């Protein structure tokens, strides 16, 4: 089986405003869990799961400076959201424009339980599909229990993202991006082995209650 980890790069979307987390002065990416910030925990995992070093996508120079100050011991690169779009889509497009790595594993800065085993399992599924399939794969996404696709904790083919940006409205979300991609390799949540902690890995923190829940999971 071909190892695809060398051609995949971790992308962390960190340009949000944390509006559901608290006041505008508070930043959930900097919330500390078990002595590390959410952002550092995510980057530590990506550094061990993908190559080359992760990319952190931010909205403003101030965010870049703030985050660079806490990740100075981790090899990362920074880039900015695309001005053509809004929300998370601007982050993925910004990363696709600025990096040449064929595959981007995209996640949020608010996913502190991100697991190397879950990322590598998805990369292995991509490698297997590439080895046995004839059709091009544009993305690898998890189908959730309600039938929708998880747009983060998701692999995107960089060139495919760039190919469809012209047909996506400025304010569209990530579901619109997945809808525009023809070759989405969908993995049912029911088919994920118990040994792969994917449900835990894609947990995100939107509120303080979410943060406390994550902390309790680490204690258990």
pLDDT tens, 144-192? 888 899 999 999 999 999 999 999 999 999 999 999 999 999 999 888 9
The CATH number covering residue 69 comes to 3.90.550.10
According to the model, what pLDDT value does residue 168 have? Answer: 95
Over residues 44-55, the mean pLDDT reads: 93
SS3 content of the chain, % helix, strand, coil (to 5): 40, 20, 40
What distance in Å separates the CA atoms of residue 27 and residue 25, rounded to the nearest whole number?
A: 7
What distance in Å separates the CA atoms of residue 205 and residue 110, rounded to the nearest whole number?
A: 5
- Residue 172: which domain range? 5-219
Strand partners, 139: 156, 184
Residue 4, both tokens: 């695809």
- Cβ atoms within 10 Å, residue 170: 12
pTM above 0.85, yes or no: yes
According to the model, what pLDDT value does residue 186 have? Answer: 95
According to the model, what pLDDT value does residue 20 have? Answer: 56
What distance in Å separates the CA atoms of residue 59 and residue 21, rounded to the nearest whole number?
A: 18
According to the model, what pLDDT value does residue 44 have? Answer: 95
Over residues 63-75, the mean pLDDT reads: 91
Report whether pLDDT(219) > 80. Answer: no
The more confident residue out of 34 and 1 is 34
Report whether pLDDT(22) > 70. Answer: no
Q: Over the stretch 122-147, which tens digit does the pLDDT of each residue have?
A: 999 999 887 666 688 999 999 988 88
- The number of distinct structural domains making up the chain is 1
Strand partners, 55: 11, 77
Report whether pLDDT(5) > 50. Answer: no
**pLDDT averaged over every residue in the chain:** 88
According to the model, what pLDDT value does residue 19 have? Answer: 56
């Amino acid at each position: 089986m071909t190892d695809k980890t060398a051609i995949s790069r971790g992308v962390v979307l960190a340009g949000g405003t944390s509006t559901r987390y608290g006041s505008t002065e508070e930043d959930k990416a900097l919330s500390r869990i078990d002595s590390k910030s959410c952002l550092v925990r995510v980057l530590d995992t990506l550094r061990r799961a993908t190559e080359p070093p992760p990319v952190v996508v931010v909205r403003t120079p101030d965010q870049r400076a703030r985050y660079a100050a806490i990740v100075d011991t981790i090899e990362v690169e920074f880039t900015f959201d695309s001005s053509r779009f809004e929300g998370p889509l601007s982050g993925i497009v910004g990363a696709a424009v600025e990096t040449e790595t064929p595959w981007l594993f995209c996640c949020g800065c608010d996913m502190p339980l991100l697991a190397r085993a879950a990322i590598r399992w998805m990369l292995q599924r991509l490698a297997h599909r590439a080895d046995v399939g004839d059709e091009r794969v544009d993305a690898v996404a998890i189908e959730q229990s309600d039938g929708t696709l998880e747009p983060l904790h998701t692999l995107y083919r960089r060139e495919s993202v760039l190919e469809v940006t012209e047909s996506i409205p400025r304010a569209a979300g990530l579901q619109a991006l997945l809808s525009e991609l023809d070759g989405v390799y969908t993995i049912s949540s029911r088919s994920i082995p118990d040994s792969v902690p994917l449900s835990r890995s894609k947990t995100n923190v939107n509120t303080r209650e979410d943060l406390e829940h994550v902390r309790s999971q680490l204690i258990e």
